Amino acid sequence: MKKTLSVLFMLSLCFVLIVPSIGAQGVSSEGKSGEYLVQFNGPVNHGLLTAFGVSEEDVFHEFNALPVVHLQLTEKQAFGLSNHPKIKYLEENAEVQALGQTVPWGIPHVQGTDAHGEGYTGNGVKVAILDTGIDNTHEDLNVQPNGHSVFSDADNSDPFYDGSGHGTHVAGTVAALNNNLGVLGVAYDAELYAVKVLNNSGSGSYAGIAEGIEWSIENGMDIINMSLGGSHSSSILKEFCDLAYDSGILLVAAAGNSGNRGGNNDSVGYPAKYDSVIAVAAVDENNNRASFSSTGPAVELSAPGVRVLSTVPGNDYASYNGTSMASPHVAGVAALIWAEKPELSNVELRELLRATAINLGGSNQYGYGLVQALDAIEYTGSGGGNGGGQDDDDSGSGRPGNGRP
């Protein structure tokens, strides 16, 4: 049984190098002085500069590689030099600003930035991204060197080649680096693992997902994110999900994009619908359910899934819509919490996510509500959340990757 995962590619957003406009002002009068770069046709002619009244104190730097001088000029001097045949270029010394890091709206929406401010970054938590692969050359991602692909053909056998871009986008939401460029992930110090279970067209099979889950168990993953799904159940896929959950792994999956505008159908896909998996619905910036977000009793948590900016292959960035974008927000929040509270079992962590979620409305649409990272880390109360989701039996204690049974 195969499925095709569709994502809506929206406006690509890149960094902006901000350069103030250089005014081509009239410079026929003495006017105020400013900094300029002057390039000569041939060697720097100091006599020419002196002839125009430029003193040694006005010269800040003389370059060696090109006959260029950085100096201070009045508007009158600049006008005269700019028209001299021995001057090749005369430009005002414009300022620039460093490339900046964008914080996608979803990160503070789930209290990711609040948690970062308190020193919580998800350090050491292993997150397997079961998807179309992850571009490990992206400068905004730190992808671990050991990954896995369930495919053997040349086009899809490399887990670090993401022909779709979907897996790279998901990975960035979980853990894009805090490096003053690009975007910021929810748990930027978490460890990302590429597990390619969908091909470059975004298609895969339940057998492939099961293989990816098995690899995650065998390689000590803490969290599995599955921004994928199909409409049919599989007893064997359920067994693999249950096996991973019983081994102490937290499984998070997209609820699906088969919702209707009224939000009154039962359309959560698989594997999200299994009791051992957290099904995540999508909301917008106003905490309204996205009209495409699947609904039903299995919905457990909500997270940002509309106009989500994240990484895509080729050191690029784009905004996507979908519950595929909501799921990694929850995986990232879980990583933040587990790094700070490694003694929690996956079941206890799941209960904590529920207990601290913000109630947004009907449980079939929102589950327990919007996940909140810092509230969960600082939570000292007891009791359940705000409705929705499934009941679970306790299993194991502590993160599977931290040496606890």
Nearest to 349 by CA among 229, 212, 252: 252
Active-site residue flag, 109: no
Three-state secondary structure readout of 141-191: CCECCCCEECCCCCCCCCCCCCCCCHHHHHHHHHHCCCCCCEECCCCCCCE
Tokens of residue 29, six digits = 């009068």
Active-site residue flag, 131: yes
Determine which one of 148, 166, 169, 329 is catalytic: 166
Determine which one of 164, 319, 324, 327 is catalytic: 324
Active-site residue flag, 324: yes
Tokens of residue 12, six digits = 């690509």
Decide the pairing of beta strands 33-40 and 87-92: antiparallel
What is the length of the chain?
405
DSSP string of 244-260, one letter each residue: HHHTT-EEEEE--S---
What is the Cα–Cα distance from 290 to 324, expressed in whole angstroms? 12
**What SS3 state is found at 271?**
coil
Determine which one of 116, 131, 169, 284 is catalytic: 131
92: left (phi over 0), alpha (psi -120 to 50) or beta: beta
What is the Cα–Cα distance from 287 to 294, expressed in whole angstroms? 15
Residue 77 dihedral angles phi and psi, to the nearest 5°: -60, -45
Write out the catalytic residue numbers.
131, 166, 324
